[in-house]
Amino acid sequence: MRTPIIAGNWKMHKTVDEAICLTRELKEALKDIKDREIVICPPFVALHALKAELEGSNIKLGAQNCYFEDEGAYTGEVSPVMLKDLGVEYVIIGHSERRGYFNETDELVNKKAKALLKKGLKPIICVGESLEQREASETESVVKKQVFRDLDGIEPYRIKDIVIAYEPIWAIGTGKTATSEEANRVISIIRDTVKEMYSEKEASLIRIQYGGSVKANNAHEILTQSEIDGALVGGASLQTDSFTAIVKY
């Protein structure tokens, strides 16, 4: 069975002191959870401090982005080597905000995924359609194309270390959420795409999350669907009570 994974994407929120405070609260609230993985992804500036805070806990450290080179003249970028040195295990790549605001392409996401895997880090690859694409009945074709491009050239044995997050763009930060049945349907399409690219084995191993306005009051309905292996949580991960409720769905 696939182990559920709940990841909190803090985005551009929390100073270092605020991040430490929230992490300490989460450690206490979630210390007895053993049957699912818990990941928090703070801003880069808090990673070093939270590495120490999370030592010996059941919460894993994640980052929100990375570049695909180990080092070089890439002002403002952070490499997989740097993240690994900070105790990071998971890295979000291809988030719609990166794709939309910073013009990141599937080709770039693919390079990042390969670079992370090479260094022993686990990518959380985000895919999802816009409202316009959804209304044009293009959800399936858009998501399949993203999966094909983002996983292109990645060896089958690496698939077990990859998480895909289905995040319909129209549901991110809007308060709108795909119905649990629709989210399950699209995630089933993603899993079938992985099967088409690889085999039944890889499709059964890869974990696929749902993201997009996941909250305490809808987490149970979404996360008990047959194909959904967890959640990538945005705003609700910034408060101890709401994130705890989601983790304990």
Convert the pLDDT of each residue in 17-57 to its tens digit. 999 999 999 999 999 999 999 999 999 999 999 999 999 99
Q: Is 167 a catalytic residue?
A: yes
3 state SS for the chain:
CCCCEEEEECCCCCCHHHHHHHHHHHHHHCCCCCCCEEEEECCHHHHHHHHHHCCCCCEEEEECCCCCCCCCCCCCCCCHHHHHHCCCCEEEECCHHHHHHCCCCHHHHHHHHHHHHHCCCEEEEEECCCHHHHHCCCHHHHHHHHHHHHCCCCCHHHHHHCEEEECCHHHCCCCCCCCHHHHHHHHHHHHHHHHHHCCHHHHHHCEEEEECCCCCCCHHHHHCCCCCCEEEECHHHHCHHHHHHHHCC
- CA 206 to CA 229: how far, in whole Å? 9
Query: pLDDT tier at 84 (50, 70, 90 boundaries)?
Result: very high
Q: How many CB atoms lie within 10 A of CB 236?
A: 20
Catalytic entry in 95, 97, 104, 202: 95
Q: What CATH number did the domain enclosing 82 receive?
A: 3.20.20.70
Give the active site residue among 37, 129, 167, 202. 167
| 95 has catalytic annotation | yes
Confidence of residue 142 (pLDDT cuts 50, 70, 90): very high
pLDDT in tens, 159-181: 999 999 999 988 777 777 789 99
Please report, to the nearest 10 degrees, the dihedral formed by the alpha carbons of residues 73, 77, 78, 81 taken in order: -30
Least trusted range by pLDDT, from 12-16, 52-56, 212-216, 221-225: 212-216
Q: Considering its fold, how many domains does the chain have in total?
A: 1
pLDDT at 92 > cutoff 90: yes
Query: Which residues lie across from 92 on neighbouring strands?
Result: 124
Q: What is this structure's pTM?
A: 0.96
pLDDT at 116 over 80: yes
